[in-house]
Amino acid sequence: MNTPTELRYSTDHEWVRTEDDVVRVGITDFAQDALGDVVYVELPEPGLEVQANSAFAEIESTKSVSDIFAPVSGEITEVNSALEDQPELVNEDPYGDGWVCAIRPTAESELDALMDAASYEKFVNEESQE
C-alpha cells in the first residue's frame, strides 16, 4: 500500500493535499485496490458546497459502486474532467492524475482532524483485522 507522507487521510479512504487556498482530493491507493478496476467516476459540479463526511461523488468499479466522501467542508472549485474519459487513472495514479476534485475549505480545523500517513496505515491495518 502506497501512503505518501505529505498527505492527510480520512477514515473513508480519501486523501487530501493542501495547495495554497484549496485542497486536492482523491481516493487512496488502498481504496482503489479494494475497488478493483474503476470504470466510471461521477464527478461533482464546481461550485457545489460540500459538508465534511458527506457523499459528494460516486465511483464505479467492476466490483461495486461506492460513494466518495468530502474530507472537509467547503466549495468544489475544480474537478478532474480527465476521469470522464479515463476513469482508470484512479487505479493507475491515485495520488497524481487520478485526483477527483479540489475543495476550498471553510474550516481549517477540519484539516487538523485528518490522519497523517502513519495513523492512516494503522487505521487500515486495524480495519482489515476486524
Q: Give residue 122's pLDDT.
A: 96
The segments of the chain whose pLDDT lies below 70 read 130
Q: Which residue has the cell 491495518?
A: 125
Q: Give residue 110's pLDDT.
A: 95
The string of DSSP codes covering 7-75 is: SEE-TTSEEEEEETTEEEEEE-HHHHHHH-SEEEEEPPPTT-EE-TTSEEEEEEESS-EEEEE-SS-EE
pTM (predicted TM-score)? 0.94
Rounded to an integer, what is the distance from CA 50 to the centroid of its chain?
Answer: 13
Q: Give residue 99's pLDDT.
A: 98
Cβ atoms of residues 21 and 80 within 8 Å: no
pLDDT digits (tens, 9 = 90+) for 41-61: 999 999 999 999 999 999 999
Q: Which residue has the cell 472537509?
A: 72
Domain ranges of the chain: 8-105
Q: Give residue 129's pLDDT.
A: 78
Q: What CATH number is given for 8-105 in this structure?
A: 2.40.50.100
